[in-house]
Amino acid sequence: MERVNARLAVLSAHLEVPDPMPAAIEPWFTSSVAAPHGSLMGNLTIVDERTGKKYHVSVSEDGTVRSTDLKKITRGKDDKGLKLYDPGYLNTAPVRSSISYIDGDEGILRYRGYPIEELAESSTFLEVAYLLIYGNLPSQRQLANLEFAVSQHSAVPLGLLDIIQSIPHDAHPSGAFVSAMSTLSLFHPDANPSHMLIPIVCMQGQDIYKSKQVRDKQIFRVLGQAPTIAANAFLRTSGKPPVLPSSNLSYAENLLYMLDSMGNKSYKPNPRLARVLDIIFILHAEHEMNCSTAAARHLASSGVDVYTAIAGAVGALYGPLHGGAVEAVSKMLSEIGTVENIPDFIECVKNKKRRMSGFGHRVYKNYDPRAKVVKKLAYEVFSIVGKDPLIEVAVALEKAAVSDEYFVKRKLYPNVDFYSGLVYRAMGIPPQFIAVPRMAGYLAHWLESLDDPDTKIMRPQQAYTGVWLRHYAPVK
């Protein structure tokens, strides 16, 4: 009865006077605190010791310099100017963004200024998705509208289900998810700038995303259909029949329903497990300019449709050094097996014979704040489904590592992947499903890039190291 009443409340709110999604961030919903460092604006004076010349470079309020300003530092007419060599983009900011903030030294992660711990404690995934995409937490009516719209767009085109069913049964679920997500652009040509190009007015296709209605519809489609695609891709690779979403379940409940119900419409997911999944989705929703998010913005800069851009991002997330790390942790703990084997494993890691998955992070040089939350969730899940013996291995491995000078000196601490794998495993959820909540972050960055006047098609430079010049000679 509670579920019915909750659903009626959503429907009632939707039937009231429409309260559209905001066109921009509304500052009266925020209580802002100024950055502790204040403005970093100023100027740099650079002395080129090769020529003795001095150059002045402006520093912005956020402490950045434009890399193109360095092109004027040149040794002569044959020198095209300085370039920044930055493999892996260790210190390159290709965009200015207001979506999320990370302080890796202090172990801080915030979504639009809100600490991740507060959101995980009190919010829901769709509420956080709204926050990330539109800039502020929603009103009750706005949240009801989003929940209704996402639910209405949760069914995928029948042709897409046929494509999923044609995927080899032994395919990797992530590969199936990437393929299905990219195919959505074929089923929605009305939202594809390339399909909408008209030769006489060549820019008309790119202009379709200037429409707020078009943007919102793609957001609802992606958020609504991602769980359905992910669940049915996994069911296909598990040899199980497809299951369609239910219209009277929450976002997390729906995913559990599709995974576990076998099509039994009376099946009800455990509400405590659904809440755990909802929190994990909040933790995985966004993480600044990581590999997959950068891929999404890189692709979107070409003007491609949102489905192709997101499919490319999920392809990057698929990699074992990115989202695949969740799966790697479970495999690692299984291989260690027992607490008694940890000392030998630690020595193998130190001797670079083994890799310790779930420890260390490109950004965090402190304890990942998300990892603390997931560790608590693991015990919540085990209290419901039974204790996984590998949790003892995980806790003992963490304790051994954080007290070992080798790891402390290198600032290697558990990241969100370390305990997530155990939680997913206990709930019977494939670890590749972290792609589902990350849709919120990808969509937020896609939307931000559309409105950013600095957005240009991404075209990095290179430092050429090949042969300078040679002439063709025909084979004799």
What amino acid positions are annotated as catalytic residues? 322, 361, 417
Would you tell me the crossing angle of helices 212-237 and 251-260 to the nearest 10 degrees?
Answer: 30
Residue among 111, 110, 102, 167 nearest 136 (CA) = 111
Residue 460 neighbours by CB under 8 Å, 6+ apart: none
Which of 294, 293, 298, 312 shows the shortest CA–CA distance to 185? 312
CB-CB contact of 378 with 419 (8 Å): yes
Largest CA distance in the chain: 86
- CB neighbours of 58 closer than 8 A, spacing ≥ 6? 42, 43, 44, 65, 66, 69
In this structure, which amino acid lies at residue 202? C
> For residue 115, what is the enclosing H or E element?
strand 114-115
Give the N- to C-terminal CA distance of the chain in Å, as an integer.
86
The C-alpha R_g of the chain, in whole angstroms, comes to 25
Cβ 40 vs Cβ 60: under 8 Å: yes
Identify whether the C-beta of residue 94 lies closer than 8 Å to the C-beta of residue 448.
Answer: no
Residue 222: CB atoms within 10 Å: 22
